[in-house]
C-alpha cells in the first residue's frame, strides 16, 4: 500500500477545503493510505487578526524564525511515498507554522529522500515564498516533484482591500461594496483533478516518484506583471524585518512604534510606487520579452502552467 502524508495549516479554513478537494481521490483509492498532520502553533494565532497583531509577526515570518509548535502527531520514522505540504503565504514567505515544521527534527526525518508536492492557497503573490520553500526542501534532501498554486479570484487590485478585510473581520465578503475575497469555490472543487493524477501515478507501479505528475493540468498560473514586484517587495521586506526585529520582541513598545511607521510607509508605497511601477513595467515589457518568458518558465516549474 502506498503511503501519503499531508502536512497543512489553515487559519480561515480555505486551505483545508483545498486540501480536502485535492486529497479526495487519494482517499478514495483502497491502495493508498493518507495520513494528515495538522500543524498547531503552541500559541495559537488569532482569527480574525487584530490589526497591529497581524503586523507583529512580520519580522519573524520574513526572517523565517521558527516558532514553537504543539507536539507533532506523526510517526517520524515512517517512510512515505509522497508528502504534500499545504501552506499559506504570509508577507511573501511561507506561513510561520510551515517554517516551524520545516525546521523541526521530525521534518528532517520525514522529508529526507521523499518526493514532495507543495500546495499553495493565497492572495496572488507566491513566487518568493515558494523559492524559500525550495531552498529548505533542498537542505532537507527532499525532492520537489510538483507545485500547485491557487489564488484569489477577485484580481490583484481588488484583493489589496478584500483580503486584508477578510483577515481583520473574519468575513470573506466583509461589506456589500467589497468583492468576495478568496479562491473561487469552483476552482477549489476542480482541484480534485490534481489528486486524481497523483492517485493514478501512485497506483501505476511501486517505483519512487521522481518526475512531475501534474504537467498539462494548469497547476500554476504565472502573472508576469508580478514577478518584478515580488522581487522588489521581498528585498524591502527583508530590510524592514531586520530593522523591526532589532527594535525588540513582538510585544515591545519599540517594535509597536516601528510597526506604525512601517505601515504608513507601506500604505504610501501601495498607492504611489506600485501603480507607477506597474505602468513602467507595461511600457518596458516589449524590451524584456525573452527574459520574462524565461522567468515564467522557471517559476512555473516543476509542474508547468
Q: Which residues pair with 93 in a beta bridge?
A: 90
Query: Nearest 5 degrees, angle CA 16-CA 145-CA 28?
Result: 45
**Whole-number Å distance between alpha carbons of 208 and 81:** 7
Residue among 73, 204, 194 nearest 145 (CA) = 194
Q: 151 preceded by cis ω (within 30°)? A: no
**Whole-number Å distance between alpha carbons of 183 and 153:** 5
**Whole-number Å distance between alpha carbons of 240 and 179:** 30
The per-residue pLDDT for 154 is: 86
**Whole-number Å distance between alpha carbons of 173 and 165:** 8
Which secondary structure element, helix H or strand E, spans residue 238, and what is its range?
A: helix 227-247
Report residue 80 as a C-alpha cell. 512515505
- Percentage of the residues of the chain whose pLDDT score is greater than 70: 99
The per-residue pLDDT for 285 is: 72
Is 31 strand, coil or helix? Answer: coil
Q: Indicate the pTM of the whole model.
A: 0.94
Contact 135, 129 (CB under 8 A): no
Report residue 232 as a C-alpha cell. 522588489
**Whole-number Å distance between alpha carbons of 109 and 77:** 7
Report residue 128 as a C-alpha cell. 518568493
**Whole-number Å distance between alpha carbons of 17 and 70:** 22
What pairing do the DSSP bridges indicate for beta strands 82-87 and 2-8?
parallel
- Residue 139: CB partners within 8 Å, gap ≥ 6? none
**Whole-number Å distance between alpha carbons of 15 and 39:** 13
**Whole-number Å distance between alpha carbons of 111 and 211:** 17
Question: In what order do the strands lie in the sheet containing 82-87?
Answer: 32-38, 2-8, 82-87, 115-122, 143-151
**Whole-number Å distance between alpha carbons of 41 and 96:** 9
Q: Which domains does the chain have, with CATH numbers?
A: 2-225 (3.40.50.360)
The per-residue pLDDT for 292 is: 84
The per-residue pLDDT for 273 is: 65
Confidence check: pLDDT of 288 > 80: no
What does the pLDDT look like over 23-78, one tens digit per residue? 999 999 999 999 999 999 999 999 999 999 999 999 999 999 999 999 999 998 89
- Residue 268: CB partners within 8 Å, gap ≥ 6? none
What does the pLDDT look like over 108-163, one tens digit per residue? 999 999 999 999 999 989 999 999 999 999 999 999 999 999 999 988 778 888 99
Report residue 182 as a C-alpha cell. 478568496
Q: Concatenated DSSP letters for 107-126?
A: HHHHHTT-EEEEEEEESS--
Average pLDDT over residues 279-290: 75
What does the pLDDT look like over 246-263, one tens digit per residue? 999 998 999 999 999 999
The per-residue pLDDT for 289 is: 79
Furthest C-alpha separation in the chain:
59
Amino acid at each position: 500500500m502506498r503511503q501519503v502524508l499531508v502536512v497543512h495549516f489553515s487559519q480561515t479554513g480555505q486551505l483545508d477545503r483545498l486540501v480536502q478537494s485535492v486529497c479526495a481521490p487519494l482517499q478514495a483509492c483502497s491502495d493508498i493510505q493518507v495520513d494528515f498532520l495538522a500543524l498547531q502553533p503552541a500559541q495559537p494565532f488569532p482569527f480574525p487578526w487584530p490589526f497591529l497583531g497581524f503586523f507583529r509577526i512580520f519580522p519573524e515570518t520574513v526572517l523565517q524564525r521558527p516558532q514553537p509548535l504543539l507536539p507533532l502527531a506523526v510517526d517520524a520514522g515512517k517512510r512515505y511515498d509522497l508528502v504534500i505540504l499545504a501552506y499559506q503565504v504570509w508577507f511573501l514567505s511561507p506561513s510561520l507554522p510551515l517554517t516551524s515544521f520545516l525546521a523541526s527534527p521530525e521534518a528532517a526525518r520525514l522529508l529526507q529522500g521523499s518526493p514532495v508536492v507543495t500546495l499553495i492557497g493565497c492572495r496572488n503573490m507566491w513566487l518568493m515564498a515558494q523559492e524559500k520553500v525550495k531552498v529548505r526542501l533542498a537542505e532537507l534532501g527532499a525532492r520537489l516533484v510538483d507545485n500547485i498554486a491557487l489564488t484569489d479570484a477577485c484580481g490583484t487590485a481588488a484583493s489589496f482591500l478584500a483580503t486584508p478585510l477578510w483577515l481583520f473581520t473574519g468575513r470573506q465578503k466583509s461589506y456589500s461594496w467589497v468583492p468576495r475575497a478568496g479562491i473561487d469555490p469552483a476552482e477549489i472543487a476542480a482541484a480534485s483533478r490534481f489528486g486524481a493524477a497523483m492517485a493514478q501515478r501512485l497506483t501505476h507501479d511501486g517505483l519512487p516518484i521522481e518526475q512531475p505528475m501534474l504537467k498539462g493540468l494548469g497547476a500554476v498560473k504565472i502573472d508576469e506583471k508580478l514577478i518584478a514586484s515580488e522581487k522588489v517587495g521581498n528585498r524591502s521586506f527583508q530590510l524592514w524585518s531586520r530593522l523591526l526585529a532589532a527594535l525588540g520582541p513582538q510585544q515591545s513598545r519599540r517594535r509597536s512604534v516601528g510597526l506604525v511607521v512601517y505601515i504608513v510607509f507601506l500604505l504610501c508605497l501601495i498607492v504611489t510606487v506600485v501603480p507607477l511601477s506597474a505602468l513602467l513595467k507595461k511600457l518596458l515589457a516589449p524590451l524584456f520579452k525573452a527574459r520574462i518568458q524565461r522567468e515564467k518558465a522557471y517559476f512555473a516549474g516543476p509542474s508547468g502552467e
